[in-house]
Structures are given as structure tokens and as C-alpha cells.
Chains A and B, each alone.
Chain A
């Protein structure tokens, strides 16, 4: 029987190999290049924010890492192995969406999906499984509504469950696709702090796709900024500057620091759908 602390087996491997490594990676749809020449190594425990206007290929990057989308050029590895569909190394947090309140599904079922929803058969309701689901629920403070229908929970409560669902399988890499979208400020803070606490405690690498950097700005180690086939990687202070963004967008963009928030002015005109930094 495996020991109760399931982290033990996989952790040393992760500590050495980068959690995510892209080499000369490029992705094209037909003649359109989303991004190209992307060299990126994300260390275990690192928090990488992926920014850029709509259609710049942020979500496609996550799809590549999930093994759902092959690269046009280059290679992609997760914990030293080529990215593949259904990898247990990866946890995934989607953006909050309205769930049907009439669908019979409890919070603990949603979290349970993250543990063994991919396995065939009916499964056994073992005590160990219950304990792991409960532990994940406790970690995000969701035990109070573990038995409520998920469709009747608030967006913030649902996203806490999503964090538990992604973490219950004990992933080495956490992929987040706009997990804070449509949450109020309080819940944005709670959810991003849960993710931050996890990567510090368990050395989980975090790739955080977002329109809005401010809620996670204090946690971000590096930024990957994608615009129209071009990209820039670096610490927030290096990338989120007027000079760098003006070059990326090919138009004049101003980055203003107001108290501890960043405001980007001018990027909206360059790419009409892009709208972060205003809230």
C-alpha cells in the first residue's frame, strides 16, 4: 500500500527538472503565428503570470501544456517528460462559469472528480478516498458547503472548490485559466492566496493566465507577456514598463503605478478586446 502522504514519491524528481520547459516552441493556426521561438523554463514553486490581449494565445499555451494541442515547432516538457493528454502532473483551474443548479452534484463530488474522475469503472467509496477529498476541502476552507449542490454556490465558493479539485491529485504544475474572472475583490484575494500558499508549501509551479495582473502582482515571480506573435519574459518590473509594452504592442503604451497597482494605458486601443488593469 502507498503511504498516506502521496507527495513523497514524485517530489525529488520535480525538485531537479524544471516543472515546465518549452524549447523554441511555436504555435501557428494556418498562416497565423500565435507565438514562436518561445524558450521558457518554469521552476518548481515558481509563479508565472501569462498576460496578453485576447487572441494572443494564452489559452492555447495552456492547451499545449495539457497535451490537447500539439506545437507547430519546438518541444514541451512537464517535469522532464513530453506533455501528454491526461498527465497526472498537471492540475487545472478553469474560469468561473455558472453551473446548472438543477444538476445533482455536490462540492465533494466536484473535488472527487479531480482525484479519480478519469479512471474507468464505478470506483469504491473507500475511507482513504473520503479522507483525501475532505483534506482538500479543508485546505481551501470549503467543508461547510461540501454537501451543497455546486450550482447553488456563489462564484467565490465554486472557485475554492475548483482549487481543491485541482490540488487533490497533488500536481507538480498548476495551470490556471483566468480563475479570478467574475469574482469580487475579496474572493479574488482568497482564491489567489490559496494558490500562492500551495505553491510555497508544496513547490508547485503555477502558470496563471489572466487579464488582470493586480490581484496576483505581489505573488508573481515572472511574467510571460504575449502580443501578436511577439513575447517577453521577465520579472514584472522588467516587463511591465512603458518601454517594453510599447515595443511589444508597436504603439505607445504607458504603464502607471498607482499605489500598489499597475495601470496600463494605450494597450486597449492597440488591441480593442484587451482590457486589463482598469478595475
Chain B
């Protein structure tokens, strides 16, 4: 295929307007916006706590939970995904408290969990490919009821985050002094694991494991290039995540291409731009300081 034709196929807006009128498209936009909201809020803490790999592990083990639930009943897949994600996040949160050990613990648990998931899938008598497009998500299959459910879960996560905000930020960014000041650092890391688990368990069946990582980590990493204010970083990360998700869904409509490709591309461009701005600023700041 000649390059021009590929570009045409990727970037077409023929019928986009019409598609935006459909209920299922609006539902998927709403779901995406809700997930971007929670990802933007949690992302800076994920980056500060250096638990990106744990989030990756959690999002993949969501698959194991969903596959186990599929053996019981197809209608249990979402619940299974949620339980799988929270369990995985708690295991990572509890076993990997010591930073030196963390990576290996995640690797061990992740490989075992994925193996189990494969076994569950093999045991499933029906065709499993439809129910388990988990790694890429099925945002177009979202109904109005799902959006309401998602909205209440996202609200619950945000409220919980607000309740523990100050000690969680302290424990995430300055753990040694936080511990000395009596902040329950260990308990908070369990709470944070739960929040990440819930957010991941909700997001994986909707946008897929790939996008969970892209939405939790890249916007936060981009925001950290632009500001040192933790609250501004969270707001910026949320804006970036929203732009990527909503932009990605809209761009993918007319071509009918996978959403994840557009979302990851947008967020990657935002990240590159932020790095560039950050580097320029850092350089001019250093020059000002040396004068």
C-alpha cells in the first residue's frame, strides 16, 4: 500500500459526525472520559512511588481474574476482572514493600498468574476469544448502565483518594520522614494498591491493558516535565489523559481502527512535547542561575 493511501486510511473523518450521534459512541466517550479522570488523578502517585511495573502486572493479571470468572459464567467477567486486579494490586503492594525486592516479586507473581489465566481459558468450553479481548478492550460494547456503574466506581476512588490525599502524598514522595512523623506508610501503600486495583480492574475490560498503562503513566510522566507543583501535575496529567482518550476515540471512529493506536500515539506526542519544553526550560533556568 502506498504511504499516501495508508495516511488516508488512518486519518479519515468521513462519517465521524454521524457516528458521534450514536448512543454507543457517546457511551464509550463518557466511559473513556471517566477512566482518564481517575488515571490522571492516580498517575502522578504511581510515578512518584515507582510502581509502574506493578501497575503493568496488575493490568495483565486482570485477565486471570476475568478468565477464572468466565468458567463460572460469562456475566461474571467484569466482576472477575475487578477481583483479579484488586488481588494482584494487594499482592504487589504487600509483598513488594521493600523496593529492592519489588521487581522480582512482581515478575514471579505475574508469570504465575498469566499461566493460570491460560489454564482457565483452556478449561473454558465455549469460544473465549470474544469475551476476552481484554488486552485491547471493548470500549464500543459499553452500554448506558455500564457507564453509570463506572461513574460511581470512579467517584468512589476519587473520594477515597481525597480522604487520604495529604498523608498519601507525603508517604509517596518523602517516605522516610513520613514514617518518622507517624504517617501509616505501610497501611497507605495497601490503600493505594486498592485504589490502583479498582481503577485498573474497571479500565482493563473497557480500554484494555495496553491503554491502562498509557493512561496511568505517560500523562503523569509528561506533567512532571512541566511542573514541580504536585497538584498542578495531577491536574495536567488529567487534562493530558482526557485529550488522549477523547481525541483517540474520535479519530478512530471513521477509520474503524483500534482505539489504542490513536490514544497511545496522542499521549506519546504529548510526552515528547513536554520533555522538549522541560529540557528547554531546565537549560534556560540553569543559565539564569549561573549568571
Q: Which residues of A contact B (CB under 8 A)?
A: 66-68, 84-87, 90, 92, 94, 97, 100, 102-106, 109-110, 113-114, 116-123, 147-150, 152, 162, 165, 175
The CA-CA distance from A119 to B229 in the complex, in Å, is 19
Known: A66-B182, A103-B224. 18 other contacts (CB 8 A): A68-B180, A87-B182, A94-B176, A102-B224, A104-B48, A109-B173, A116-B166, A117-B167, A117-B183, A118-B167, A118-B170, A118-B183, A120-B163, A120-B164, A121-B165, A147-B229, A149-B228, A162-B177
B155 interface residue, CB < 8 Å from A? no
Q: Which residue of B lies closest to A95 (CB)?
A: B176
- A119 x B176 contact (CB < 8 A): no
The CA-CA distance from A105 to B228 in the complex, in Å, is 5
Q: Which residues of B contact A119 (CB under 8 A)?
A: 166-167
- B228 x A117 contact (CB < 8 A): no
Given A104-B223, A119-B166, verify A148-B177 contact (CB < 8 Å): no
> Which of A84, A97, A109, A165 is packed against the most chain B CB atoms within 10 Å?
A109
Q: Which residues of B contact A120 (CB under 8 A)?
A: 163-164, 166-167
Q: Which residue of B lies closest to A150 (CB)?
A: B228
A106 vs chain B, min Cβ distance (A): 5
B40 interface residue, CB < 8 Å from A? no
Q: Which residues of A contact B170 (CB under 8 A)?
A: 113, 117-118
Q: Which residues of B contact A85 (CB under 8 A)?
A: 182
- A103 x B47 contact (CB < 8 A): yes
- B177 x A92 contact (CB < 8 A): yes
- B169 x A117 contact (CB < 8 A): yes
B230 interface residue, CB < 8 Å from A? yes
Q: Which residues of B contact A94 (CB under 8 A)?
A: 176-177, 180
A270 vs chain B, min Cβ distance (A): 30
Q: Which residues of B contact A104 (CB under 8 A)?
A: 44, 48, 223-224, 227-230, 232-233
B106 interface residue, CB < 8 Å from A? no
Q: Which residues of A contact B47 (CB under 8 A)?
A: 102-103
A75 vs chain B, min Cβ distance (A): 20
Interface class of chain A by DSSP: loop
Q: Which residue of B lies closest to A84 (CB)?
A: B182
The one of B162, B182, B233 in contact with A122, judged by C-beta atoms closer than 8 angstroms, is: B162
- B230 x A123 contact (CB < 8 A): no
- B180 x A106 contact (CB < 8 A): no
Interface CB pairs A-B, < 8 A, 11: A67-B182, A86-B181, A97-B176, A104-B232, A106-B229, A113-B177, A117-B178, A118-B178, A119-B167, A121-B166, A122-B166
- A86 x B183 contact (CB < 8 A): yes
Q: Mark B109-152, 1 if CB is under 8 A from A, else 0.
A: 00000000000000000000000000000000000000000000
A166 vs chain B, min Cβ distance (A): 8
The CA-CA distance from A193 to B183 in the complex, in Å, is 29
The CA-CA distance from A150 to B47 in the complex, in Å, is 16
- A66 x B167 contact (CB < 8 A): no
Q: Which residue of B lies closest to A94 (CB)?
A: B176
A84 vs chain B, min Cβ distance (A): 8
Q: Which residue of A lies closest to B223 (CB)?
A: A104
- B182 x A86 contact (CB < 8 A): yes
